Each structure stands twice: as C-alpha cells, then as structure tokens.
Amino acid sequence: MAGEKTADVGAAPACLCVLCGLPAAGKSTLARTVLRTAAESGWRATVVPYDDLIPDRAFQSRTVEDRVSLHDAPTEWKLHRQVVLQCIERFFMKPAVVAELPVKCQINGGVWEQCIQDLLRPEALDHSGPDQKPLVFLLDDNFYYQSMRYEVCQLARKCSLGFCQVYLHCELESCIIRNQNRPQPIPTEVILEMVKRLESPNPQKNPWEKNSILLNTTENLSKSGINRVMDLISSALNNPLNPVEDNIEQKEADRQKCATSVVHQADQACRRLISEAMKTARENQVSSEHMRSVATQLNESKTTFLQNFKKQILQQTSFTQEEDLDVEHVVKKAVAVFDHEKKEILHRIINDHK
C-alpha cells in the first residue's frame, strides 16, 4: 500500500467490528451482507478474513490438541494475529510515522491489499470527499477467547476508533452440519473443542465488551438482525474509544490471559496423568466397558478440577502476569490435588471390577 494513500483516511469516523463465533456460524455471510448494506449507507467497509490472511491455518496437519493449544501459546499463530492488527494500525497511522513493520511471520499480502483497496477505491471516496465517508473494518475470525478480542479493542483505543462486537450464536448441530456441507470442512472435533473454550462476550464482566450484541444465526439472517448490526456499528462510529488507557480494564484482561495460560498448563499435566491412569487400568485387566467408565470419570473430574483451579487463580489479587506467579509451583501443587482424585477413581474401579 502506498504511504500517501493512508492520508486519505484522515478524520473520517472509523470502527473495528469483531465478528466472533464458531466455525460455520455464518460470520462470512453476515460480513457480505453488512458490506452491501454499508455501501447503501454511504460507508466504506471491508472484511478482514483471518482464514485467508493467515497462511496454513494448519487445520490439516496437526492433532486436535495441537491445533487448539496452538492458539493459546505465544506461537506463530498468535504472531500472525498480531501482524493483522499491525496492518490495520499502519493503515490508520500518518505516513510519516509509518516505519517498516517488523513482520516476523508473513500474512497473505495479496489478500490484505484487497481489503485496503476496497476502502481506497475512487468511487468509495468521490462523493463527499475523502475524509467524510465512515470506515468500517469487519474482523472475521472465531475470536473464542476474550483475550483475542481484547487485542482488537486495545488497537481501537490506541487509534481512537469505534469498537463493537457481534457474537454469532449458532446451535452447535447447525454449525456442524453447515461445516460438513462445505467444500473443505474442518474436523468436527475442532468445533467441539472450540465450544469448550468459547468465552462469549460478557459485558457484565468486561466493561470494554459493552458494545456487543448476540445474533442468533441458527436460522437465516433476518432483516431485523442486520438492522441491529448496522445500529451497533453506527453507534461505534459515533463513539470512538479514548486512547487514554484504562488501567483497571487492562489489568483485568492481563489477569484473565495469565489465568488461561496457567490453567492450560495444568490441563496438559492432567492429561498426562489420565493417560497414565488408563495404562494402569489396562494393565490391571479392567474390562473395556469399565475402561470407558474410568475415562469418563477422570475426564469429568479433570473438568471440575480445572474450573475450580481457574476460579482460585483469579481470586488471587496480586498478579497481573505470569512473572508475578511461580507458575511451575502453582501448577504442580494444584495438579497434585487432581493426582490424588485420579488415584481414588482408579483404585475404586480396579477393586470393584477386576
């Protein structure tokens, strides 16, 4: 993108609109409809399609566990997401300020150019002058953790843009069926795993999520649904965020992110304990029927344990980042509790069902 073009962005009102929800919930369909409606409203709008921008989203080559954990760790995938946001940031910066991006991992430049061209086309600019038509970025990704959405909010704040979120709620079964009818479906387990992790927008808990709506996309999009989205965007355009950082929000977001990461580490440790337990049960000639029961019980026990563990961590007031916690120690101590439960479950089954 040529630097001088960015000057056209000028003082036009602008907003970032996050479209979040499960795969096949209808995000791209909604985005297309909003684009059409936005053009009628005299807005310049574009979709930022993460699946196309980020190469090798790697749904094919990895196990379910890796695929999902990949999103948690500060890995390549996360860096890619940040590069997308840096591109948007660069779009809003004055050319003089723009240095070359420290792009460690590439996103698809052609796709990005396309996003921008939709905004800078002469016909998108001509009538009311370059600085008048509002600009709307529709960010199309799953955004299943609130921390992923918060990164977008921070960018909106930094650049004084409006910020809003549409959570596309689609009944799981419909998502699965729609996904399976696609030319390149993603594995159903990925969707199931994402359901478990999904943190839908929660304005009560996160004040920065207050400009969010839930759109039920189990059935076709209704006209009134589209109108709600347009009203939301319109309101975001009229109420840009203030770049002065709100420290309380920032801290809470950091704490959430940290807790998520610590719980993830505990989850990994528990999984190892469970597979050890399964091995022990097998070695003790537990019947296959009872093996299933062991698996279920251990699994349920793990879920409950991890939920409680996360609550406990968040109750500690003194940390905002992992460096504030002795993570290894905290995880080890907590996992010992699960290990104890695991042993009890195992002993019970082995003794009852030999």
Contact residues for ligand NAG, defined by CB under 6 A: 169, 171, 192, 216, 218-220, 295-296, 299, 303
Q: In whole angstroms, how close is the CB of 246 to ligand NAG at the nearest point?
A: 30
Q: In whole angstroms, how close is the CB of 114 to ligand NAG at the nearest point?
A: 26
Report which DSSP code applies to 303.
H
Angle at 62 between CA 64 and CA 105, to 5 degrees: 115
- E strand or H helix at 51: helix 50-53
Q: In whole angstroms, how close is the CB of 264 to ligand NAG at the nearest point?
A: 16
Q: In whole angstroms, how close is the CB of 59 to ligand NAG at the nearest point?
A: 19
Query: Which residues contact residue 263 at a Cβ distance below 8 angstroms, ignoring those fewer than 6 apart?
Result: 306, 309, 310, 313
Q: In whole angstroms, how close is the CB of 180 to ligand NAG at the nearest point?
A: 17
Residue placing its CB nearer to ligand NAG in the complex, 158 or 197: 197
d(CA 151, CA 161) in angstroms, rounded, equals 13
Residue placing its CB nearer to ligand NAG in the complex, 75 or 296: 296
Residue placing its CB nearer to ligand NAG in the complex, 218 or 250: 218
Q: In whole angstroms, how close is the CB of 220 to ligand NAG at the nearest point?
A: 4
Q: In whole angstroms, how close is the CB of 300 to ligand NAG at the nearest point?
A: 7
Residue whose C-alpha is closest to residue 30's, from 264, 249, 223: 223
Q: 3-class DSSP state for residue 48?
A: strand
The edge-to-edge listing of strands for the beta sheet with 44-49 is 44-49, 135-140, 14-21, 162-169, 212-216
Cα(first)–Cα(last) distance of the chain, in Å? 69
d(CA 242, CA 249) in angstroms, rounded, equals 13
Residue whose C-alpha is closest to residue 92's, from 18, 166, 211, 3: 3
Residue placing its CB nearer to ligand NAG in the complex, 37 or 216: 216
Residue placing its CB nearer to ligand NAG in the complex, 76 or 199: 199
Please return the burial class of 31, using the count of CB atoms within 10 Å of its CB with bins 0-12, 13-18 and 19+: buried
Residue placing its CB nearer to ligand NAG in the complex, 220 or 318: 220
Residue placing its CB nearer to ligand NAG in the complex, 56 or 219: 219
Q: 3-class DSSP state for residue 14?
A: strand
